[in-house]
Amino acid sequence: MKEELGQIIPSYPMPVALVGTLVKDKPNFLTVAWLSMVSYKPPMIAATLGSHHYTNPGIKESKCFSVCIPSEEMVKSTDFVGMHSGKDQDKSGIFELLKGKTKAPMIKECPFCVECELEKVDTNGMNETFIGKIVEVYADKEVLTDGKIDLSKVKPLLCSQGDAQYYTLGEKYEKAWSTGKDYKV
């Protein structure tokens, strides 16, 4: 017998990212955890933000944004960026900036950054989902294994929304698209 919790936001493990864009020609960042890939070919990623955020008109005007993945060591600056709006706090100088192929600012300290061109905006309730076509992915050599991003080296942050709890990533476990071969129905 399960408990019924109602129409709540369920606390699944959310990936924590810093979304960068230009707002009024100035770099700005916002902490975002409502994040998902939405297209395999071409690769597209979606970031959902409350529609009141300072970032939103910046993405619409500059037509580009970045999704930068902070390491667990960056937890304080990452949380700070999520607690202060660009309306009241200049966030352009918090991080060392990385320049890519678009105008979207990225963060040097982040182990990897995903640069996107805005494809479209979808609205649901009081949120806007920004869908971006991936233009380039930039990663530190130190977090790669055989040329691929290795999350055990990235040490990303996860977040549980209901209890406002950050988590670290755990251990490498079984191999995907593989361990299920042993399963007998």
Distance (Å, rounded) from C-alpha 172 to C-alpha 146?
A: 16
Length in residues, the chain: 185
36 binds a copy of itself (CB under 8 A): yes
Q: What residues are paired with 58 via a beta bridge? A: none
7 binds a copy of itself (CB under 8 A): yes
Site string for a copy of itself, 60-79 (x = CB under 8 A): -------x-x--x--xxxxx
Q: How far is the CB of 16 from a copy of itself (least distance, A)?
A: 9
Site for a copy of itself, residues 115 to 134, rule: CB under 8 A? 119, 122, 124-127, 129, 131, 134
Site for a copy of itself, residues 42 to 61, rule: CB under 8 A? 42-46, 48, 50
Residue 55's closest CA among 76, 30, 25, 26? 30
Q: How far is the CB of 27 from a copy of itself (least distance, A)?
A: 14
Distance (Å, rounded) from C-alpha 92 to C-alpha 109?
A: 14
Q: Is the dihedral of CA 86, 94, 165, 144 positive or negative?
A: positive
